[in-house]
Amino acid sequence: MSIYDQDVQTGISSCFMQMLDEKDIYEKVFELFPYPLQIFSVDGTARMINNAALEMMGIKSRESHIGRYNAFEDPIVIKLGVVDKIREVLTGKTVHLTDFTAPYDDMMRYFDVKERNLKAINSDITCFPLFNADGRVEYFAAVFFFKNIYTGKEEIGRAKLYIKSHWKEPFDADKTAKAACLSKSHFIKLFKKHAGVTPYEYYINYKISKLKEVLLDTNLTIAQAFTECNMNYNGHSARLFKKKVGVSPSQYRKTSKQN
């Protein structure tokens, strides 16, 4: 960290510590802060939350959150494996969490939040320590920079487009989820809900549909048609084709040619 960064962090820390001691300053400055903001004690318990955070997260009331929510015991934080990362703020470091995606179903399951037609909230989070007069970390703050609020359909559309653009490549759930801007586990669950099939099944179905098109080119052998689609022509792929289409590749070509 540069001297400039240290000075800025010290200044911000000092400002917030004063704000914690002065109720009037807290009410004026804390609520006017333009980004969702929370302040926690060193054990992770929420001590303050501004209106911007309440609104964006859908939390019903301060009373249901302050003194009850603990950042280190949050099931979503634990599931995403960032508890230890957040704890680094207690050593005096500023911690940045990038693309923190919280499924809204999980938020409703674990916390007192409003029922909304949302699938996930994606944000970057910066946590920084607040030092007391003795230079010890007494609190830490978390500022949320919300990037996307997902309703579901838009993200699945991006995933489908990615699959259609990369159908010749081996299926990669991680890359497809990233294209949808969702965590892998949430993406798979959400895709099945909206598309009716898993992402892999959708990929296979699309790949078979493209293979059917290529098989219509009689200048290619069946094996060459499979190769053109980056598939090996063997017993497994032939059985897969028959399972999806209802006939073997050769029967499909013959029937299509007759029609």
Complete domains list, the chain, with CATH: 3-150 (3.30.450.20), 153-258 (1.10.10.60)
Dihedral in degrees, nearest 10, Cα atoms 46, 50, 53, 55: 130
Q: What are phi and psi of 41, to 5 degrees?
A: -80, 170
> In this predicted structure, which of 2-6, 30-34, 229-233 has the lowest mean pLDDT?
2-6
> In this predicted structure, which of 3-7, 245-249, 252-256 has the lowest mean pLDDT?
3-7
Residue 26 scores a pLDDT above 70: no
Q: What is the pLDDT of residue 1?
A: 36
Q: What are phi and psi of 194, to 5 degrees?
A: -90, -35
Note the pLDDT tens digit of each residue in 145-195: 888 776 667 888 899 999 999 999 999 999 999 998 888 888 888 888 888
pLDDT (average), residues 87-108: 91
Tokens representing 151? 């309703």
Higher-scoring residue by pLDDT: 17, 244: 244
Residue 142's Cβ-count burial label (10 Å; 0-12, 13-18, 19+) is buried
pLDDT (average), residues 223-228: 96
Q: What is the pLDDT of residue 5?
A: 44
The whole model's pTM is what? Answer: 0.54
Higher-scoring residue by pLDDT: 5, 250: 250
Residue 12 scores a pLDDT above 70: no
Task: Report the distance separating Cα 89 and Cα 112, nearest Å.
Answer: 26
pLDDT (average), residues 218-232: 95
Instruction: State the maximum Cα–Cα separation within the chain, in Å, rounded to a whole number.
Output: 88
- Give the model's confidence band at 19: pLDDT under 50 very low, under 70 low, under 90 confident, else very high: low
Task: Report the distance separating Cα 69 and Cα 157, nearest Å.
Answer: 35
Residue 27 scores a pLDDT above 70: no
Note the pLDDT tens digit of each residue in 44-86: 999 999 988 998 899 999 999 999 999 999 999 999 999 999 9
Using DSSP, state whether 241 is helix, strand or coil.
helix
Task: Report the distance separating Cα 205 and Cα 243, nearest Å.
Answer: 11
% residues pLDDT > 90 (the chain): 59
- Give the model's confidence band at 4: pLDDT under 50 very low, under 70 low, under 90 confident, else very high: very low
The β-bridge relationship of strands 120-131 and 37-41 is unpaired
